Amino acid sequence: MKHLTAGEYIAAQQEQIDRLQAELEEKTAMVNFPDDFVTTFRMMQSAVHNNAAAHGWWETDRNDGEMIALMHSELSEALEYIRHGNPNDDHCPEFNGAVTEFADVIIRIMDTCHQRGWPLAEAILAKHEYNVKRPYKHGGKAF
Ligand SMILES: [Mg+2]
């Protein structure tokens, strides 16, 4: 096996990074999402919030820290499902427990953003577009 010089090693590494970056750009070319994504997302968000309000959860304003803690709690529930083999959810048995808890996270985020008037759908599109343009592994991060 041939040993590479430091210069050859660096060149080979750069070549690999360039190849992976080109693959990434090809795979993540920004899709033109239909304009109705925002409308459809907002409709679901409104339904989620109206349901929470109808069940009394917004009779008084809730602070952002409380809402974030509740979002965390749903992720902890997902972790517990996975720690126990990820059995099906008790209330929606056609889905595994982890995915239903992930749904709860999103529902809580949708509810909170709707109540606050924060443009979540638009932020998702903007962040996705930003992420598409980021370098491979964001400049060498391990994860
Ligand atoms: Mg839950």
**Ligand 1 mean position, distance from CA 128 (Å):** 26
Residue 51: CB atoms within 10 Å: 12
**Ligand 1 mean position, distance from CA 74 (Å):** 5
**Ligand 1 mean position, distance from CA 26 (Å):** 37
**Ligand 1 mean position, distance from CA 122 (Å):** 26
Q: What is the pLDDT of residue 66?
A: 96
Q: Please tell me what DSSP assigns to residue 29.
A: P
Band of residue 13 on the pLDDT scale cut at 50, 70, 90? confident
Cβ atoms of 120 and 112 within 8 Å: the answer is: no
Band of residue 143 on the pLDDT scale cut at 50, 70, 90? confident
Band of residue 139 on the pLDDT scale cut at 50, 70, 90? confident
Q: What is the pLDDT of residue 56?
A: 95
Residue 30 has pLDDT above 60, yes or no: no
Q: What is the pLDDT of residue 16?
A: 84
**Ligand 1 mean position, distance from CA 106 (Å):** 11
Q: What is the pLDDT of residue 75?
A: 98
Taking the domains of the chain in order of start, what are their residue ranges?
1-30, 33-136
What does the pLDDT look like over 71-99, one tens digit per residue?
999 999 999 999 999 999 999 999 999 99
Q: What is the pLDDT of residue 33?
A: 63
Give the global pTM.
0.78
| Cross-strand partners of 88 | 96
Q: What is the pLDDT of residue 79?
A: 98
135 φ/ψ sector (left φ>0, alpha ψ -120 to 50, else beta): beta
Cβ atoms of 110 and 51 within 8 Å: the answer is: no
